[in-house]
Amino acid sequence: MLTIKNLHAQVEDTPILKGLNLEIGPGEVHAIMGPNGSGKSTLASVLAGREDYEVTRGSVDFCGADLLDMDASVRAREGLFLAFQYPVEIPGVSNLNFMKAAINGKREHQGLEPISAKDFLALVKEKSALVELAGRLRDRSVNEGFSGGEKKRNEIFQMAMLEPTLAILDETDSGLDIDALRIVSQGVNAMRDAGRSFLVITHYQRLLDHIVPDVVHVLSEGKIVKSGPKELALELEEKGYDWIKEPAV
C-alpha cells in the first residue's frame, strides 16, 4: 500500500527527514510517535504534497504508483487523506458545498458522473452521525466558528465521506477533551477495514488506547529509530523518548 524508502526532505534548506523508511500494508494501522521537532508533521505534509516541503532523496510508492510525482489534489483523488492538525477555516463556503466539490473531484478522476443531490444528502446524513455532527453542518461554513473538538470531528466526517485508501491523522488528538477523543476514535474505528490503512501521528499514548495500532514507530531526528508492537507506546509513555534516542546516536 505505502512504501517509503530513504526519504529525505527539507524546508527552506533545513533538512528535516533524513532517510526515513516505512512500509504500511493494506488494512494496517501504524502509529508514529516522537518528540517535538522529530519530523512527524513534516512526514504528513510531504506525503500530502504540501508545496513548501522539498523532497531531496528517496521514493514513496502508493498502491503501485509514484506518489511524489502527483499533485496534491491528485494524491487526494487517488485515495490519500490527511486529517489536519489545525483544520483551516474557509469563511463563506458551506461545509456541504465543500464536500460536494471534493467528492465530485474524486468521482471525475474515476470517470464517474457527479453525485446526485439525493445520494449526497443520504451520505452526509450517514457519515455525520458517525461523529455526532448530524444536522450541524448544513448552514455552517467550513470550520468557521467551530470549537477545537468540532473541527477534529469534521475532519473525521470528511474522511468518512471520501473513503480514502490511506488516512493520515496528524495529531488528531491534540486539544481534544475526553468525550471528543472518544467520538473521534469511534469514527476512525468504524472505518477500519481490510482495504484501508491508517497512519496515526500522535504525541500521546492515550489516543492509542482508543485506536489500537498494529505497529508503533518512534521517529527521532528525521528517521524511524525503533518499531514495535502496540506495547511500545506504553513503554514510551513510561520512560520518555530519551532511552530510545541514546542508542541511535
Partner 1 sequence: MAYDREDKVLEEVTGKAYEFGFTTDIESDKAPAGLNEDIIRLISAKKNEPDWLLDWRLDAFKLWCDMVEPEWPHLQYQKPDFQAISYYAAPKQKKELASMEDVDPELRNTMDKLGISLEEQKRLSGVAVDFVMDSVSVATSFKDKLAELGIIFCSMSEAVQEHPELVRKHLGTVVPVRDNFYAALNSAVFTDGSFCYIPKGVRCPMELSTYFRINESGTGQFERTLVVADESSYVSYLEGCTAPQRDENQLHAAVVELVALDDAEIKYSTVQNWYPGDEEGKGGVFNFVTKRGICHTRSKISWTQVETGSAVTWKYPSCILKGDDSVGEFYSVAVTNNFQQADTGTKMVHLGKRTRSTIISKGISAGKSQNSYRGLVQVMPNADKARNFSQCDSLLMTDQCGAHTFPYIEIKNPTAQVEHEATTSKIGEDQIFYCLQRGIDEEQAISLIVNGYAKEVLNKLPMEFAVEAQKLLAISLEGSVG
How far lies 153's CA from each of 58, 131, 216, in Å? 34, 6, 24
Give the β-pairing of 166-170 and 197-201. Answer: parallel
Give the β-pairing of 80-83 and 90-94. Answer: unpaired
Look up residue 29 and give its three cell numbers. 494501522
> Which strands form 53-62's sheet, in the order they lie side by side?
14-24, 2-11, 53-62, 65-66
d(CA 220, CA 214): 20
State the minimum distance, in angstroms, from the CB of residue 14 to partner 1: 18
Residue type, 173: D
State the minimum distance, in angstroms, from the CB of residue 176 to partner 1: 20
State the minimum distance, in angstroms, from the CB of residue 138 to partner 1: 15
Which C-beta is closer to partner 1: that of 171 or that of 223? 171
State the minimum distance, in angstroms, from the CB of residue 227 to partner 1: 27
Which strand (E) or helix (H) includes residue 200?
A: strand 197-201
φ/ψ bin of 10: left (φ > 0), alpha (ψ from -120 to 50), beta (otherwise): beta
State the minimum distance, in angstroms, from the CB of residue 223 to partner 1: 24
Which C-beta is closer to partner 1: that of 128 or that of 205? 128
State the minimum distance, in angstroms, from the CB of residue 187 to partner 1: 17
Which C-beta is closer to partner 1: that of 98 or that of 120? 98
Question: Which residues are near partner 1 by CB under 8 A?
Answer: 48-51, 68-69, 71-73, 75-77, 81-82, 84, 87-88, 90-93, 97-99, 101-102, 105-106, 109, 141, 158, 162
Give the β-pairing of 80-83 and 14-24. Answer: unpaired
Which C-beta is closer to partner 1: that of 101 or that of 122? 101
Which C-beta is closer to partner 1: that of 167 or that of 225? 167
Which C-beta is closer to partner 1: that of 141 or that of 186? 141
Which C-beta is closer to partner 1: that of 167 or that of 236? 167
Residues in the chain: 249
d(CA 216, CA 24): 11
State the minimum distance, in angstroms, from the CB of residue 151 to partner 1: 11
Q: What share of the chain is helix, strand, coil (3-state, %, to 5)?
A: 40, 30, 30
